[in-house]
Structure 1
Amino acid sequence: MLRQISLFSNHFPLLYSFSFTLIYVILLLSRTIIRQPRRSFIMNTIRRFQEDVYLRECRAKVTGLTEKDGKCQITLNQTIFFPTGGGQSCDVGTIDNLPIIDVYESDDEIFHVTDQLNHGLSIGDEVEIAIDWAHRFDNMQRHCGEHILSGIFFELYGGVNRGFHMGEEYMTIDISLEEKPEFDKISWEMAKEAELRTNQAIWSNLPVITRHFDKREDAENLPLRKALAFDEDITIVCVGATSNPADCVACCGTHPSTSGQVGMLKIYKVESNKGMFRIYFEAGQRAFTQYQARFDVLTTLENKLSAGFGDLLSKYEAQQEKAKESRNELYHLKKSVIMREISDIKASLTPAFVKKYDKLAINDILDIGKELKGLIPTIAFLVHQPSNTVLLFSDQYDCNKLVKENADIYGGKGGGNKNSARAIFSKAEYVDTFIDLIEKHLR
C-alpha cells in the first residue's frame, strides 16, 4: 500500500498534494460539524409545557449552574417552567425544594433563577421540579381570556390588539381601530357588547388548540387575527373551530384546553391612549374575586342608605343633592360670619393686633387677612388654635422674613411672602411666645 502511494506521488505530485490538502480540510470541517450540533442539542432545553400545560412536576437533569447578580441560574435538559414572554409572567415553583423566583429564556436556553447560592447542586444531578399550579392556572385563565376578548374586538369592530399587559391588579389591551372605518371610538356600550360576546364564548366551552409549525407557509393557512412576525418555529393558539374561531393567533403562552375553564371575564374601564383605546379587564378566578369585592361594597352601600339594588342610584343621587344644598348653606353662613368678623376687626385694629380662632378653618382666616390689606397699622396675628398656626399680615414688614428668622427658635416652621406668612408650632405655648418676640422686635 505504501509502495502504491509512493508511486502515485512520484508520477502525479501535484494531484497527490491537492488530494492530501482536500482530505485534511474535510477532516477539519467534519470535526466542527459533528461537534457543534451535538453541543447545541445537549444544551437546548426541552419545553415540556408545550407538550402538556397540565404537567405540574417531573424529573430533569442539571445541565448548567452560573452565578449572576447574587443569584444562581440553573439550566436543565427539560423543564415544565414557562419563561416570561408574550406579555405573560413566568412560572414559579421549586427545583429540589429550592425556590425558583424567576424564569427567563436566552439563546434557546431556559434559565431558572433561585436566590439560594448554597444550593448543593452539581451538573449532571437528577432533580425533581415542580411548578406553583395555582399561579400557572391563574396565568392560563387570564391569558386565554385576553385572547378571546381581543378576537371579539377584532370581529365586532375591526380592533387590532397593539399592546397587552398582565398586571397584578388588572390586565390591559390597547385596541387600534384599523379594519372597520365606520368605528372611530370604543364607547362603554361597545365594550359591554364585547364583554358579553366574550363570556358567551367562554361559556360555550370551546376547544383551545395549540399547534406548532416549522414553516410560516403552513401556519398562514389558518384564519389568523394578526399577521405572523416569524418565519419558522411558530405556535398558533386557536379558540374554537378553525372554520369560525373566537380567536386564532400566534402565541407562546400557556392556555387551558377549553374556554370554559376561563370561567368569566369582566371589563372595568375604557380610556383613550395614544390614538388607541386601552381596555382594563380581568379574567378567571381573579375576575370573580374582584366581583365579590365590588359586590361587598355595593351591599354595604345598600345597608347604609337603606336602599335596595333597584333604587340605590336614586337614593345616592338624592343624598348628593342634599349634601350640595348643605354645602351651599354652610358657604353662605361662613361668608356671613367672615364678613362680620372683618367688620369687627376693622373697627378695633391696633398696631400689633392679635385674635385667636378655634371654629374657623385656616382658609377662612386667610380670607379675613386678605380683606385687611392696606388697613393694618403695623402687623396682625390671626391664630388658628387647633393647629397652633400663626398667620401674619402686614403692609409694612416682611412677614416671610419674620417667620424665617424667628419661628425655628421655638421649633416652628413655615414661610410665605412679604405681605403674609404662617408659622406652625408643636405646642400652644410657643404661639404666644413667638407673638411676644415679634412684637418686641418691632417696637
Structure 2
Amino acid sequence: MKTLYYDSSYTTSWDTTITDIYEYKGHYYVCLAETAFYPEGGGQPCDTGTIGSVQVLDVQRREEQVVHQVEQLDGLEINAGVHCDIDWKRRFDHMQQHTGQHLLSAICLKELNAETLSFHMGEDYATIDINCSALSGAEMMELEQRVNEYIYRNLPVHGYFINQEELARLTLVKMPKVTENIRIVEIEGVEHNACGGTHVARTGELGILKLYRAEKQKAHTRLYFKYGYRALADYQEALAKLDVFTNRFNTGRKDVVERFHKWEEEQQGLKAEIEQLRRENDRYLAEQLISEAEVAHSSVLTHIFDHKSSQDLQRIASELLMRQQRHVLLATKQDRKILLARHEESELRCGAFFKEHLASFGGKGGGNDQSAQGGFTNEEDLLGFYEYASVQLSQ
C-alpha cells in the first residue's frame, strides 16, 4: 500500500485498485493499493471523501495498512479499478490547523519558554496545552501578533523522511518514538518537528491566527485557536452579530459598546421604576384583600390571580403578613402554583398541611411551619385544592 498523502498533501483525486473488502461488526471496510486518505492520528482527524461513488466515513491505520470505513460495499469489488476523491475543504482545514499548531507551538517555546504538552483538533476549535501556569490578555495579544508575523513572511514548509544519522544532526523539542521512517515537518527558519500529518506548503496559506482564550488546566494553560478559513468564518459570524446591535442602536461599530452601556443604564432605571411600581401595587392589593376579608369576617386571606408569578405571590403574602394576623392562601392560574403562609402567633403547620392534602389533588410541593408552596399540572386540580384549603383553613 502506497500512502500518497506523504508525497503531497495536495493530492485530492487519483485512480487505484481495491485490494481488500470486508465486513466487521456491522461496518464495511475497504483497502486500496494507493491511498491519499489520511488516517486519524497525531491529534489530526481523518480525511473523508468517496471511493467510487461510496462515501468514506472513517480512516484508520491498522499496523501497516490504511483501512477505509465506507457507507456500503455496493459497486466495490476486489481487484477492480476505482476512482477516489478527497473532501478538499476538510483536508485543507486540517492542513491549516495542524501546520498552524506547529507554528504556534514553536513561538510559544521561543517567546514564553513554554513547551507544548498536547494538541487536539476539534470540529470548532483546535487547542494546545502548554507548560505555562498562566497567560495574561496582553501576553495572548503579543503571542497572536508574533505568530501572524511569521504567517505573513510566507515561509516554506517541507515534509521529508530521514534516518537515525540525519536525526542526530537536528534539534527537536520532542524525539520521535519510531526509529525507522522518521518524517520531519520543517518550517524554514523556525523549527523541525517529527510529524506524520498533512501540512500546507507555505505559512502564508495559514491565512490568519486568532487566539480565543487561555484556560487554566492545573499547572498548565490550554490555548484555544483557529486558523485560516475557520478564523474567517468566525470573523464573518461575529460581524453579522455585531451588525444586529449597530442596527438596533442605530449607531456605528465603533460606538456600539458605548451605546450599549447607555442602554444598560436606561434599563437599570426602568427596572428600578418598575420595582417601585410593583411595591406600590403590592401594597394596594394587600389593602384591598384585607378590606374584603374584614367585610366577609374571614379568618383567612384568600385570592386567586390570573396573571401572577409564584414570586409575585411571595411578595404579596409578605406584604399581607406585615399588616394583619390572618392566614394567607394565594394562587395563580398563570404558573398553576399555590402558597400558604401563617402569621407569627398561629399554630398552623403549613408544610404539614400541604403534605397531608396536596397529593389528593395531584399537586406536588412542601415547606416548613411558616409557609408552603405547591404546584399542579392543570388548572382544574389547582382550583380544587384552592377551594378545599380555603374551607379547611376557615374552620
**Which range, TM-score by smaller chain?**
0.7 to 0.9
**How far has the Cα of 1:289 moved from its partner?**
0.8
Helix, strand or coil at the partner of 2:214:
strand
**How far has the Cα of 1:367 moved from its partner?**
3.5
Cα deviation 1:159-185 (Å, max 9, x = unaligned): 2111212112211111212xxxxxx52
- CA–CA separation in structure 2 for the residues paired with 1:58 and 1:201: 33
Aligned counterparts, 1:117-266, within 5 A: 118-177=73-132, 185-215=134-164, 217-240=165-188, 244-245=189-190, 247-266=191-210
**How far has the Cα of 1:207 moved from its partner?**
0.5
RMSD over equivalenced CA pairs, Å: 2.7
The aligned residue for residue 349 of structure 2 is 396
Identity, % of aligned pairs?
Answer: 28
Q: Are positions 1:381 and 2:335 aligned together?
A: no
- CA–CA separation in structure 2 for the residues paired with 1:326 and 1:363: 19
- CA–CA separation in structure 2 for the residues paired with 1:336 and 1:159: 61
Q: TM-score, normalised by structure 2?
A: 0.87
Q: CA 1:339–1:49 in structure 2 vs 1: closer, same or farther (change >3 Å)? A: same
**How far has the Cα of 1:340 moved from its partner?**
5.7
**How far has the Cα of 1:371 moved from its partner?**
6.5
The aligned residue for residue 367 of structure 2 is 417
Cα deviation 1:76-135 (Å, max 9, x = unaligned): 22211100011111010111211110000121211100131x434343333222211121
Contact 2:308 2:334 in 1 (8 A): no
The aligned residue for residue 345 of structure 2 is none
- CA–CA separation in structure 2 for the residues paired with 1:358 and 1:252: 68
Helix, strand or coil at the partner of 1:238:
strand
The aligned residue for residue 361 of structure 1 is 309
Q: CA 1:351–1:406 in structure 2 vs 1: closer, same or farther (change >3 Å)? A: farther
The aligned residue for residue 224 of structure 2 is 280
Contact 1:96 1:128 in 2 (8 A): yes
Contact 1:91 1:132 in 2 (8 A): yes
Helix, strand or coil at the partner of 2:145:
helix
Q: Are positions 1:300 and 2:244 aligned together?
A: yes
Unaligned runs of 5+ residues in structure 1 are 1-44, 178-183
The aligned residue for residue 434 of structure 1 is 385
**How far has the Cα of 1:294 moved from its partner?**
0.1
Q: TM-score, normalised by structure 1?
A: 0.78
Amino acid at match of 2:373: A
Contact 1:391 1:423 in 2 (8 A): no
Larger Rg: 1 or 2? 1
The aligned residue for residue 318 of structure 1 is 262
The aligned residue for residue 61 of structure 2 is 105
Helix, strand or coil at the partner of 1:63:
strand
The aligned residue for residue 361 of structure 2 is 407
**How far has the Cα of 1:342 moved from its partner?**
5.1
Question: Which runs of structure 1 show a deviation greater than 6 angstroms over 4 or more consecutive aligned residues?
Answer: 371-376
Amino acid at match of 1:422: G
Amino acid at match of 1:84: E
Unaligned runs of 5+ residues in structure 2 are 343-347
Cα deviation 1:56-80 (Å, max 9, x = unaligned): 1222232322212311121222211
Moved more, 220-229 or 366-375: 366-375
